C-alpha cells in the first residue's frame, strides 16, 4: 500500500533496538521535530475545513479545521461532552448532518469504546463482516492472530473477556487495511493492566501497518505515549496543538514526558497536582 512509504520516521519496528537512532540524540537538544515528515509532500488523509455540526441549533462542532497526514498518529483530547465522539463519527461517515467540507479516505475503519461485536456471529465472522467478496476464514484468523486472539476465532462474543472483545474489535477494523483508523476511547473500559497492553498493541500495529490513526481519548498520558501530535478540542474547534517529538518507545519517567503531560493537563484546565512542596499546615 502507498501508505507504507509515509511511515513515521521515528516509528522503528525494532523497538528493542536502541543502539543507533541518531534522531533520538537530536531530539534531546534541538526543538526540531524528528517525527516530522521529511517534507510537506506527505499526502493528507483527512482534510476538514469549516466543519459545523449542531444538535437542535446548538453547535457542538463549530467551523473546525483539521488535517491529518498519511501515517500520522494523532490523539484528540478534550473534556467530556466537547464533541470528540461527534467529530469521530462524522469522519467515519456515520453522521452526515454537517456543514463544511470533510475529506476522508475511502478505506477507513472504526473501533468504538464498546467492542460492538455482533453477538450472533462467532468472532471470526464478526471480523469478516462487511468485507467485499467472500473472504476466507483464514483472513480473519490472520487478523486475529495479529492481535493475539487467534485461538478465539471460533468463540461466541459472549465468552470473551473485555480486553479480548476489544482486541477482536481492533482486528475487525484492521482487517479492512484502512488508510485511516479511528479509535474512540478504545481503552476506556479496560482495567489498568489490560489498558497498558492494549496501548502497546495499538502502537505496534500502527508501526507495522503505517496507517494514519486518530485516537480520541481523555487520558493525557495515553495521548503523549502514543501520538505524534496531540490536539485539544474546546468550544467546537481544535483549540490547541502539541507535537510530541519524544523518541519511541516512550518512557513515562522521562522528564520531557512529564513536562508535556503537565502542559497538556494545564491546557485542559486541570491544575498540576500540588507537589509535595505544600504539606498540610502542621499546627503545633
Partner 1 sequence: MSISHAPPQPAPDISGKESDRAPSPGPGPGARPELVALVPTSSRRARVPRWLRRTTGPLLLLGLWQLLSTTGVLTSDVLASPETIARVAGNLIEDGSLTSAMGVSLQRVAIGLLLGTLVGTGLALVSGLFRIGEDLVDASVQMLRTVPFVGLIPLFIIWFGIGEAPKVAIITLGVSFPLYLNVYAGIRGVDSQLIEAGESLGLSRWGLVRHVILPGALPGAMTGLRYSLGIAWLALVFAEQINADAGIGFLMVQARDFLRTDVIVVCLIVYAFLGLLADFVVRTLERLLLQWRPTFTGR
How is residue 16 written as a grid cell?
Answer: 528493542
When the beta carbons of 84 and 229 are compared against ligand ADP, the nearer one is 84
When the beta carbons of 127 and 230 are compared against Mg ion, the nearer one is 230
Q: Is 269 left (phi over 0), alpha (psi -120 to 50) or beta?
A: left
| 213 lies in the binding site for partner 1 (CB under 8 A) | no
Alpha-carbon distance values, 10 to 35, 191, 231, 254 (Å): 6, 29, 20, 17
Which of 152, 149, 125, 145 is closest to 137 using CA atoms? 125
CB 226 within 8 A of CB 85: no
Pick from 24, 121, 240, 250: which binds partner 1 (CB under 8 A)?
121
Q: Which residues, numbered 127-156, are part of the site for partner 1 (CB under 8 A)? A: 129-132, 156
Alpha-carbon distance values, 173 to 131, 188, 226 (Å): 11, 17, 18
DSSP code string of 88-145: HHHHTTS----EEEEE--SSEEEE-SS----TTS-HHHHHHTT-SS---HHHHHHHHH
Q: Which DSSP helix (H) or strand (E) runs through 52?
A: strand 44-55
When the beta carbons of 8 and 157 are compared against partner 1, the nearer one is 157
When the beta carbons of 6 and 176 are compared against partner 1, the nearer one is 176
| 283 lies in the binding site for partner 1 (CB under 8 A) | yes
When the beta carbons of 204 and 234 are compared against ligand ADP, the nearer one is 234
| 217 lies in the binding site for Mg ion (CB under 5 A) | no
* Contact footprint for ligand ADP (CB under 6 A): 55, 60, 78, 80-86
Q: Which stretch binds partner 1 (CB under 8 A): 17-25, 125-133, 146-154, 264-272?
A: 125-133
Total residues at interface with partner 1 (CB under 8 A): 26
| 93 lies in the binding site for partner 1 (CB under 8 A) | yes
Residues in contact with Mg ion, shown as a per-residue x/- string from 63 to 92 under the rule CB under 5 A: ----------------------x-------
Residues of the shown chain interacting with partner 1 in the complex, contacts defined by CB under 8 A: 89, 92-94, 109-110, 112, 114, 116, 118-121, 129-132, 156-158, 172, 176, 281-284
Amino acid at each position: 500500500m502507498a501508505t507504507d512509504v509515509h511511515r513515521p520516521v521515528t516509528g522503528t519496528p525494532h523497538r528493542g533496538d536502541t543502539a543507533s537512532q541518531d534522531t533520538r540524540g537530536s531530539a534531546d537538544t534541538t526543538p526540531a521535530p524528528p517525527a516530522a515528515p521529511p517534507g510537506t509532500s506527505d499526502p493528507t488523509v483527512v482534510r476538514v475545513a469549516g466543519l459545523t455540526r449542531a444538535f437542535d441549533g446548538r453547535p457542538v462542532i463549530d467551523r473546525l479545521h483539521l488535517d491529518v497526514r498519511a501515517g500520522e498518529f494523532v490523539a484528540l483530547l478534550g473534556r467530556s461532552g466537547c464533541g470528540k465522539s461527534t467529530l469521530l463519527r462524522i469522519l467515519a461517515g456515520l453522521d452526515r448532518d454537517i456543514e463544511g467540507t470533510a475529506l476522508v479516505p475511502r478505506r477507513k475503519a472504526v473501533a468504538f469504546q464498546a467492542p460492538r461485536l455482533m453477538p450472533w456471529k462467532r468472532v471470526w465472522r464478526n471480523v469478516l463482516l462487511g468485507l467485499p467478496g467472500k473472504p476466507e476464514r483464514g483472513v480473519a484468523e490472520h487478523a486475529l492472530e495479529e492481535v493475539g486472539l487467534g485461538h478465539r476465532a471460533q468463540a461466541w462474543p459472549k465468552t470473551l473477556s473485555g480486553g479480548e472483545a476489544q482486541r477482536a474489535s481492533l482486528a475487525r477494523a484492521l482487517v479492512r487495511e484502512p488508510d485511516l483508523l479511528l479509535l474512540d476511547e478504545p481503552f476506556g473500559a479496560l482495567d489498568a493492566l489490560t489498558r497498558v497492553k492494549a496501548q502497546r498493541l495499538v502502537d505496534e500495529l500502527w508501526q507495522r501497518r503505517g496507517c494514519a490513526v486518530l485516537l480520541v481519548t481523555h487520558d493525557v498520558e495515553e495521548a503523549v505515549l502514543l501520538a505524534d501530535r496531540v490536539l485539544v478540542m474546546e468550544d467546537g474547534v481544535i483549540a490547541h496543538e502539541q507535537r510530541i517529538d519524544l523518541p519511541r518507545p516512550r518512557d513515562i519517567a522521562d522528564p520531557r514526558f512529564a513536562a508535556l503531560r503537565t502542559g497538556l493537563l494545564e491546557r485542559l484546565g486541570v491544575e498540576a497536582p500540588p507537589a509535595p512542596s505544600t504539606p498540610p499546615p502542621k499546627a503545633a
